[in-house]
Amino acid sequence: MTQKVLFTIMESADYLATSTRSIYRFLNHPLEPLHYANLGDRHMRIHKSDLDAWLWYRKPYHLLKRSQKDAIKESNSYE
């Protein structure tokens, strides 16, 4: 069975146990916004590693140190 790694806004809110409004606030954060991918005009997807980085460290995944990235990878079984 494959593990899902790209989430919609609603799925991201469920994963972080928050509201969709909070997800949009994280995406529009003025200093360090949550990273997402646009798939057309209205389809946004957020990678699970970005959600984990935001949940654990309140930073985008690409700004984490190597040890922080390794900790996230060890806790999950995805690349």
Q: Which domains does the chain have, with CATH numbers?
A: 6-75 (1.10.1660)
Strands (DSSP E) contained in the chain are 6-7, 37-38, 44-47
Strands (DSSP E) contained in 28-74 are 37-38, 44-47
Residues with Cβ within 8 Å of 15's Cβ and at least 6 positions away in sequence, in order, are 7, 48, 51
Residue whose structure tokens are 């984990």? 52
Residue 51: its pLDDT value, please?
92
Average pLDDT over residues 72-77: 80
Average pLDDT over residues 3-26: 92
User: The whole model's pTM is what?
Assistant: 0.80
The answer to whether 73 and 64 are in contact (CB under 8 A) is no
The whole-angstrom separation of Cα 47 and Cα 16 is 13
Residue 74's pLDDT band, with cuts at 50, 70 and 90, is: confident
Q: Is residue 76 over pLDDT 70? A: yes
Record the tokens describing residue 24, joined without a space: 């949009």
Q: Is residue 1 over pLDDT 50? A: no
The model's pLDDT over 22-67, given as tens digits with 9 standing for 90+, comes to 999 999 988 888 889 888 888 899 999 899 998 899 888 888 999 9
